[in-house]
Structure 1
Amino acid sequence: MGHADRIRGRLVRLAIGAALVAGLGTFGAGTATASPPAHEPPAGPSPATVAWRDLGTLGGSWSTPTDVNDAGQVVGTSATADGRSRAFRWQRGVLTDLGALGENSAATAVNERGEVVGSSDGRPVRWRNGSPIDLAAVPGPAQALDVNDRGEVIGVRYTETSGMYGQGFLWRDGRSVDLPGLGGDSYPVTINNRGEAVGFVTTATTSEAALWRNGRLIRLGPPDALASMAHDINDRGQVLGSMRLDGDPNWHNFLWHDGVRTDLGAITTVGINSRGEFAGNPDGPLGTRPVRWHRGTSTELAPLGGDFAQASAINSAGSVAGQSSTADQQTHGVVWTRNRVIDLGPLQHGASIGGVQFINDRGLVVGVLNPTGEGYRAVVWDTAHR
């Protein structure tokens, strides 16, 4: 799976007033523990459902994933027994505490080389050779948000003059440069393997979708938009974003490529892969189905017998992961491939409903469940042989 295909599967959770924080980095050794065994789905009307595996915690009651690569390395953050929050890496059944500069840390993403980045005690870090390394070239309080397969890191730092989002930066080979804006904040969300980053910049009155290429800011939003922002970019330079137009109460998503912006209508996209395929959820009443687009053609993704479905992530093969209601009104995880639908089983345990977040190119699906009611846990479903 190309780096840009892992939409913060890393899920896009951008809206005006809130920004997606995606990350990256290099993992270290740290403390390792075996994760719990896989849990077979409960007996019921869906015998073909896929077993889920609890990744465990670092001693506390919860863990949450933030990214997965094609080697099956899952990264995220977990509570510890003494109440701290620590970055973790999970691989082949082993959960590893990645350590911290002081007390706390959080991992935000992993690239295909296994480099993990995030933050620790107010500083941007990456993990290498068993311990977190401070990105010392970045001044002041800051956090790393994403990393590409070349090891280029984007993030945001906070200054006395920055607003709520901060000043975006690009870190490369031990050097850091600020990403230009429009007089306000600049916030990069993700970076592709060509070193192109997307996100948004702010002015005194609004936000505007932004692409940073070779140190230069390219404005992507229409001049008459009330607000806009960019969510994702693939290695071909195709950008997904959203915009709010005057006179329309709905947010519209758009596709931008080589200066041409296409309005996709009232829909929320969840990511674009290296083939230019993207998936999303049309705004509308209950029963509106998620869709997958490719070259102007959209395909509806049917629910598992119920009246609700939602896409969460897409991989480079075009498989879409998400959740769906069933005929008996349970909420299940689901993967829509090109020729079949894979039922991941119930996401609800008691009053708690979990969620599907990511899928890599080998069919490893990552999400969260709350199986005991005591805290959400990072889990995986392996659909490779289904």
Structure 2
Amino acid sequence: MNTRLVALAAGALMGMATATPALASPGTGTPPARQYEAVGLGSYQGDFLEPSALNNHRDVVGKVGSQPFLWRSGKVETLAVLTMGSTGEALDISDSGHIVGASTTTDGVQHAVYWKADGSVWELPGLGGPFSVARQVNEHGVILGEAMDADSRWHFVRWDDRVVTDLGAFSGDVSTSGINGAGQMVGTAPFGASRHAARWEANGTLTDLGVVAGTTVSWGHAINDHGVAVGQASNGGMGDVTVAFSADGDKSSVLPVAGGHSATALKINNAGLIIGRTFGGPEESHPTIWVDGVQVDPKSVGVGAPLIKDLNDNGDLIGGFDDMHAGEAYLYL
């Protein structure tokens, strides 16, 4: 598959004083002078922590063993689950302390959940089926996730003040994968005979973020508070390359990937730092960073984890492990 890495600048937000930062031309700019310092997250009752996300206060959430955790200032605490014997995982945390994830009860049913700042856990309403999960939360407590309906079909959903909105059933054509502080969502939607990266406004308005030259399909993976989104694009052929989109999808540029390998951009912070993964070469899959349009090898700046799971607006990173690796996770400051 000819997959191109893309950064989609989705335009300025309504009422936002800060201008949308321009995307740098690919291959220009200066790699970061910053050298990261690794802080081990340690273990809890003999199990290494498995992080999912961090916020700007350097709070980290994830799971340890079969329980959700919050790591704060070097201390670990497990979070409440729905019932005695339940398991769980925390998947995202906002700066205001909203935490979301899932808790599986002893009957095997997985419930989307929300942890308040006081540590109490609330079940989020679903769509009538036995499974749901809350994956992302913004600063206003708007939550993005998935839920199964009574006919066992998965749907993308959004929760506002614990009220669920059905965003549509899973399909190869429509998906949502990121939300920002203004409630804008990014994902993929059908446009004409193809699928393109798309942005949904909080009021439901849909914008086609387009494709780049030489590609026919694109996907949006994440969006920051300036409306800049990242993802990837493909022409469905062989020979992998990489790309970047701009403001409303009408301009594009390529994010470089060393060796011409395939890559995907997974997250972007409000300063424009992008994290993702490249595929191919001596290691089949490994993390990568883009700063000002320049690809940076994480190992060259002190980041040795096989996975970069998340980043915050300070540029701090959280490193974890995949099925091929095991060990202590690190916060990179």
Provide TM-score, normalisation by structure 1. 0.58
CA distance in 2, matches of 1:93, 1:205: 43
Is structure 2 residue 165 aligned with structure 1 residue 218? yes
Residue 355 of structure 1, CA deviation: 6.9
Task: From 242, 247, 251, give the equivalent of 1:289.
Answer: 242
- Residue in 2 that maps onto 1:177: 122
Residue 107 of structure 1, CA deviation: 2.5
Task: From 286, 290, 301, give the equivalent of 1:335.
Answer: 290
Cα separation, partners in 2 of 1:107 and 1:195, compared to 1, 3 Å: same
- Residue in 2 that maps onto 1:22: none
1:197-212 correspondence runs (5 A): 197-203=143-149, 204-212=151-159
Is structure 2 residue 229 aligned with structure 1 residue 278? yes
CA distance in 2, matches of 1:268, 1:100: 37
Residue 269 of structure 1, CA deviation: 2.3
Residue 123 of structure 1, CA deviation: 2.0
Is structure 2 residue 112 aligned with structure 1 residue 158? no
CA distance in 1, matches of 2:332, 2:56: 20
Task: From 158, 161, 176, give the equivalent of 1:230.
Answer: 176
Residue 241 of structure 1, CA deviation: 2.7
Q: How many residues align?
A: 279
Is structure 2 residue 222 aligned with structure 1 residue 267? no
Cα separation, partners in 2 of 1:323 and 1:104, compared to 1, 3 Å: closer
1:1-386 correspondence runs (5 A): 92-97=37-42, 99-101=43-45, 103-128=47-72, 131-136=75-80, 138-139=82-83, 140-160=86-106, 166-172=110-116, 173-184=118-129, 185-203=131-149, 204-221=151-168, 228-242=174-188, 252-257=196-201, 258-264=203-209, 266-284=217-235, 285=237, 286-303=239-256, 307-308=260-261, 310-312=263-265, 313-322=267-276, 333=288, 335-337=290-292, 341-344=294-297, 360-362=312-314
Unaligned runs of 5+ in 1: 1-47, 54-71, 73-91, 326-330, 348-353
Q: Deviations over 1:188-208 (max 9, x none)?
A: 111111101101112234322
Cα separation, partners in 2 of 1:49 and 1:138, compared to 1, 3 Å: same
Unaligned runs of 5+ in 2: 1-29, 211-216, 280-285, 301-305
Give the secondary structure class of the aligned counterpart of 1:294: coil
Residue 318 of structure 1, CA deviation: 2.7
CA RMSD after TM alignment: 4.3
Residue 171 of structure 1, CA deviation: 1.1
C-alpha contact (below 8 Å) 2:154/2:170 kept by paired residues: no
Residue 180 of structure 1, CA deviation: 1.3
Considering Cα pairs closer than 8 Å and 6+ residues apart, tell me whether 1 or 2 has the greater RCO.
2
Cα separation, partners in 2 of 1:323 and 1:210, compared to 1, 3 Å: closer
Cα separation, partners in 2 of 1:301 and 1:197, compared to 1, 3 Å: same
Cα separation, partners in 2 of 1:156 and 1:229, compared to 1, 3 Å: farther
Residue 273 of structure 1, CA deviation: 0.8
CA distance in 2, matches of 1:211, 1:360: 23
Residue 259 of structure 1, CA deviation: 1.4
Give the secondary structure class of the aligned counterpart of 1:195: coil
CA distance in 2, matches of 1:199, 1:361: 23
Q: Deviations over 1:270-325 (max 9, x none)?
A: 31111001122102233443223324444222436754453423221334345679
CA distance in 2, matches of 1:363, 1:377: 21
C-alpha contact (below 8 Å) 1:334/1:343 kept by paired residues: yes
